[in-house]
Amino acid sequence: MDNHKIDQIIDKYQGEASSLIQVLLEIQRKHNWLPKEALERVSEELEVPLARILHIATFYKAFSLVPKGRHTIHICMGTACHVRGAPRVLDTVQDLTGINPGESDLDLKFSLETVNCLGCCALGPVVEIDGKTHGKMGPADTAEVLKNYE
């Protein structure tokens, strides 16, 4: 992400330091992560110490300081999903993508995360990909759903 694009985002918020989180969220949306160069530019333009920006970027789970895949997979490991087979679904996703929770594949196609609850316990086990919920998943269903994401 070049400085011009970062400056456009900052200008959208009138260069206000109070808009730091919104600026970071927009950079993250456009780039899928927060590159160090972008954080340095934000620090310079908003006159916020880089250490403060890094503190915020590491505190909130919404931010990533490492590249993320184009598709984010969330697998619910909450009680209802767990007892209905979520660990097998997770194993299937790991086998198919070659990544573990908290990782992205080398092609930056997928990032994998486990969550404690997605709020749809009756549909367990639940897999959410790019915000789309897939319920009552089994290993075979999971493999079929992953084929739809390029």
Domain-wise residue ranges, the chain: 3-59, 71-146
Per-residue pLDDT of the chain (150 residues; tens, 9 = 90+): 688 888 888 988 887 888 999 999 999 988 889 999 999 999 999 999 999 999 999 998 889 998 889 999 999 999 999 999 999 999 999 999 999 999 999 999 999 999 999 999 999 999 999 989 999 999 999 999 999 987
The rounded distance, in Å, linking the Cα atoms of 61 and 58 is 7
Q: How far is CA 125 from the centre of its chain?
A: 20
> Of 105, 104, 143, whose CA–CA distance to 127 is shortest?
143
> Of 115, 88, 117, 93, whose CA–CA distance to 104 is shortest?
93
The rounded distance, in Å, linking the Cα atoms of 109 and 67 is 11
> CATH number of the domain at 71-146, out of 3.40.50.720, 3.40.30.10, 3.30.230.10, 3.40.50.1820?
3.40.30.10
C-alpha distances in Å from residue 67, one per residue of 25, 57, 62, 76:
14, 14, 13, 22
The rounded distance, in Å, linking the Cα atoms of 5 and 23 is 11
Asked if 11 and 41 touch (Cβ cutoff 8 Å), the reply is no
**pTM recorded for the entire structure:** 0.76
